[in-house]
Amino acid sequence: MTPNAPTLSPDAGTGFDTVLVVDFGAQYAQVIARRVRELHVYSEIVPASTPFEELLARRPAGIILSGGPASVYADDAPAIDPRVFDAGVPVLGICYGQQLMAQALGGEVARTGTSEFGRTELAIREPGALLDGLGARQTVWMSHNDAVRAAPPGFRVTAATDDSPAAAFEAPERGLFGVQFHPEVSHTPRGLDVLASFLARTGARPTWTSHSVIEASVERIREQVGDATVLCGLSGGVDSAVAAALVEKAVGSQLTCVLVDHGLLREGEVADVQQAFGAHSDVRLITVDARERFLALLEGVEDPEEKRKRIGGEFIRVFEEAARTHASDAGFLVQGTLYPDVIESGEGHAAATIKSHHNVGGLPEDMDFDLVEPLRWLFKDEVRRVGEELGLPPELVWRQPFPGPGLAVRIIGEVTGQRLDLLRRADAIVRAELRRAGLEGPPRPRPDGQADPEHVWQAFAVLPAIRSVGVQGDERTYGHPVIVRAVTSEDAMTADFARIDWDVLERIATRVINGVPGINRVAYDITSKPPGTIEWE
The span from the CA of 11 to the CA of 33, in Å, is 21
Of 6-14, 67-75, 484-492, 529-537, the segment contacting ligand GLN by CB under 6 A is 67-75
The active-site residue, picked from 184, 269, 314, 440, is 184
Closest Cα to residue 241, out of 183, 202, 281, 290? 281
Q: What is the DSSP string of 436-481?
A: HTT-SSSPPP-TT-PPPTT--SEEEEEB-S--EEEEETTEEEEEEE
The span from the CA of 284 to the CA of 447, in Å, is 44
Total binding residues for ligand GLN by CB under 6 A?
A: 11
The active-site residue, picked from 144, 182, 455, 480, is 182
Residue 11: CB atoms within 10 Å:
9
Judged by CB under 6 A, does residue 68 bind ligand GLN? yes
Q: Which of residues 198-257 bind ligand GLN (CB under 6 A)?
A: none
Interface residue with ligand GLN among 67, 93, 233, 236 (CB under 6 A) is 67
Burial 403-422 (b: 16+ CB within 10 A, else e): bebbbbbbbbeebeeebbeb
- Shortest CB 118 distance to ligand GLN, Å: 12
Judged by CB under 6 A, does residue 60 bind ligand GLN? no
Residue closer to ligand GLN by CB (options 144, 480) is 144
Residue closer to ligand GLN by CB (options 3, 113) is 113
Residue closer to ligand GLN by CB (options 178, 233) is 178
Judged by CB under 6 A, does residue 328 bind ligand GLN? no
- Shortest CB 74 distance to ligand GLN, Å: 9
Active-site residue flag, 95: yes
304-326 vs 291-298: helix axis angle to the nearest 10? 150
Active-site residue flag, 184: yes
Kindly give, in sequence order, each residue whose CB lies less than 8 Å from that of residue 534, ignoring residues fewer than 6 positions away: 457, 458, 485, 487, 489, 492, 495
The span from the CA of 207 to the CA of 477, in Å, is 62
| Main-chain phi, psi angles of 331, to 5 degrees | -100, -15
Q: Which of residues 78-137 bind ligand GLN (CB under 6 A)?
A: 95-96
Which residue lies nearest ligand GLN, judged by its C-beta? 67
Residue closer to ligand GLN by CB (options 144, 376) is 144
Of 65-73, 281-289, 322-330, 456-464, the segment contacting ligand GLN by CB under 6 A is 65-73
Q: Which helix (H) or strand (E) holds 146?
A: strand 137-150
- Shortest CB 179 distance to ligand GLN, Å: 11
Q: DSSP alpha helices (H): ranges in 345-389? A: 380-389
Residue 438: CB atoms within 10 Å:
14
- Shortest CB 32 distance to ligand GLN, Å: 11
The active-site residue, picked from 44, 95, 232, 257, is 95
Active-site residue flag, 182: yes
Residue 190: CB atoms within 10 Å:
18
Interface residue with ligand GLN among 29, 32, 70, 330 (CB under 6 A) is 70
Q: Which of residues 133-152 bind ligand GLN (CB under 6 A)?
A: 143-146
Q: Which of residues 256-285 bind ligand GLN (CB under 6 A)?
A: none
- Shortest CB 488 distance to ligand GLN, Å: 25
The span from the CA of 78 to the CA of 383, in Å, is 33
Q: How far apart are the first and last CA of the chain?
A: 50
Footprint of ligand GLN (CB under 6 A): 67-71, 95-96, 143-146
- Catalytic residue numbers read 95, 182, 184
